[in-house]
């Protein structure tokens, strides 16, 4: 089991390793990053995703900059807050996914999950091309 999940309580691990059947609520977390300029904690709500057995944060499909991503580039350590079903504050670390081939593979898996016939994420039909400019970070749990 990768990314530090093995040492987690079973209920917390199950919440992080959600299955493709998970609904929107199970895919929403808060993250607290350290402000790159202010140095102060900054908490936002964000979707998190699973692809190839790993955890990712992804947003900003418009291609515009996002503060959460810029903060993680400056300080990759953050807290992932589970808040639906299981509540837990997990120390985490983000690594930007910049290799174009790896990004395409991960984003294709995310889009395929979101485009399931029963639409568990309720995001609606989406195309891979719409996600290629997204901010994408691989999450591990030390």
Going 57 to 3 to 25 to 20, the CA torsion angle's sign is positive
111 vs 8, 106, 116, 141, CA distance in Å? Answer: 27, 9, 9, 24
Q: pLDDT tier at 1 (50, 70, 90 boundaries)? A: very low
With a cut of 90, say whether residue 79 has pLDDT above it: yes
Task: Give the pLDDT confidence score for residue 99 in this predicted structure.
Answer: 96
Question: Could you tell me which residue, 83 or 5, shows the higher pLDDT?
Answer: 83
Contacts of 105 (CB under 8 A, 6+ apart): 51, 52
Pseudo-torsion of CA 66, 68, 71, 72, nearest 10°? -110
DSSP bridge pairs for 139? 55, 94
Name the pairing type of β-strands 135-140 and 28-34.
unpaired
Evaluate if residue 32 carries a pLDDT over 60.
yes
Paired strand residues for 45: 30
Q: Of residues 3 and 46, which shows the higher confidence score?
A: 46
Closest CA to 77 of 140, 3, 4: 140
- Res. 119: pLDDT tops 80: no
Percent composition of the chain: helix, strand, coil (DSSP 3-state, to 5): 25, 30, 40
């Amino acid at each position: 089991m990768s990314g530090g999940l093995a040492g987690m309580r079973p209920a917390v691990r199950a919440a992080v390793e959600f299955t493709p059947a998970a609904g929107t609520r199970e895919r929403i977390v808060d993250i607290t990053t350290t402000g790159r300029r202010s140095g102060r904690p900054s908490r936002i709500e964000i979707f998190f995703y699973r692809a190839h057995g790993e955890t990712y944060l992804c947003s900003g499909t418009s291609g515009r900059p996002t503060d959460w991503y810029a903060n993680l580039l400056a300080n990759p350590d953050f807290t992932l807050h589970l808040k639906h079903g299981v509540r837990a504050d997990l120390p985490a670390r983000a690594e930007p996914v910049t290799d174009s081939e790896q990004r395409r593979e991960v984003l294709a898996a995310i889009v395929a999950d979101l485009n399931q016939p029963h639409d568990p994420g309720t995001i609606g039909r989406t195309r891979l091309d719409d996600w290629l400019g997204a901010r994408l970070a691989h999450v591990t749990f030390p």
